[in-house]
Amino acid sequence: MTALSELSRELTPPAQPVQSRAVVGNVSLHRAGRTLTYTLLTLAAIASLMPLYWMFTTSLKGQASYLKQPPEMFPANPTLENFEQLFANPTMGRWILNSAIVSLSVTGLNIFFASLAGYTFAKLDFPGRRWLFWVYIATMMVPFQVTMFPLFKLMVSWGWVNTYWALIIPAAAWPYNVFLMRQVIQALPYEILDAGRIDGCSEFSLFWRVALPMSTNGIAVMGIFTFIASWNDFLWPLIILNSEKMRTLPIALATFQTTFETNYGLLMAGGVIMAVPMFIMFFVFQRYFLQGVTFGALKG
């Protein structure tokens, strides 16, 4: 486990200016090499984006046209009827609301509690710190499938089945986020905290006014990935929600599949509704995604 922490620290190396990328690369960029590189990459990019393209175009095809053979690569008569039909469902708005409430709460709570705990593990010394931290890390390796029934039973006994609580509270401080925030905050120099102490900062304002503002990059990454993981979370909501009103979008979408078995236009429109907020986040916060940190990856 030590090693894992070492590893992930090494994963955010300072970017170095590279004098000439072409020399570093393994494909010497002569004309033939360049053409081949671009051809291969473009083919791979098409393969990668094809499913998304197909989702968008299918969602715009009416009843009559999505089953056409050969399939229309570009919808000949684009229509919004699938979306209209989805939004005609009175609970659709409620599902979006459920997803938004849960994801935003989970993200907010994680930003606060995971950072606070990460800060404590990184910068404060207290008896028991070391073993407490290792219990944390070791438990992180336990697959969710192991803990889900006891958790389910707990929720049943608390009467939390079909509530927001069951989705929000157990996820309020993911151990993985605690671990990552510890890594981020550990990089801050002690001198700054000491200076704050000398100036008479309280322990909490050292965290709130000094450590937190200096870790905004790490917090942004954690927040974004937490939001996405929570928005897309599937297994736990599937187990814990059984009323139609309480469903989150992924669960609603999965139940469409059984209800509208063959109505792929409608299914794909549901997929678009669920994916678009994520795409917007992706384009807005692009630089956090592309800098090479897979936060939130361990949430099963």
Partner 1 sequence: MASIASPLYYAPHRRGLLQRVWRARWAYAFILVPILLFSTFEFYPFLQALRYSVSKWSIVGPVDFVGLANYRWLASDPIFWKALWNTLRYGATVVPGSLSLSLFLAVLIFPLARAARTFFKMAFYLPAVASIVVVSLVWRWMYQPAFGLFNYLAGLVGLGPFRFLTSSSEALPSVMLMQIFSSPVIGIGAAVILLLAAMNSIPFELYEAAILDGASAWQKFRFVTFPLLRTTLTFLLIIGTIETLREFTAIYLMTSSASSNTLTGGGPFYSTTTVVYYIYVNAFLTHQFGLAAAMAIVLFVIILALAVLQFRKLNLDVEY
| Interface of this chain with partner 1, residues 15 to 74, rule: CB under 8 A | 15-16, 18-19, 21-29, 37, 40-41, 44-45, 47-52, 54-55, 58, 66-67, 69-71
Identify the CA nearest to 152 among candidates 163, 144, 161, 165. Answer: 161
Answer yes or no: are the C-beta atoms of 225 and 174 closer than 8 Å: no
Cα separation of 231 and 272, whole Å? 14
> Three-state SS for 160?
coil
70 dihedral zone (left: phi>0; alpha: psi -120 to 50; beta): beta
Answer yes or no: are the C-beta atoms of 237 and 167 closer than 8 Å: yes
Point out which span in 74-82, 88-96, 165-173, 210-218 binds partner 1 (CB under 8 A): 165-173
**How many residues of this chain interact with partner 1, rule: CB under 8 A?**
125
Binding mask 238-257 for partner 1 (x = CB under 8 A): xx----------x--xx--x
Examine residue 76 and tell whether it contacts partner 1 (CB under 8 A).
no
Binding mask 85-124 for partner 1 (x = CB under 8 A): ----------------------------xx-xx-xxxxxx
* Residue list 188-247, contact with partner 1 (CB under 8 A): 190, 194, 203-204, 207, 228, 231-232, 234-235, 238-239
Shortest distance, CB of residue 255 to partner 1, whole angstroms? 11
Cα separation of 245 and 271, whole Å? 19
Q: Indicate the residue among 20 and 88 with the shorter CB distance to partner 1.
A: 20
Identify the CA nearest to 57 among candidates 279, 278, 274, 272. Answer: 272
Examine residue 300 and tell whether it contacts partner 1 (CB under 8 A).
yes
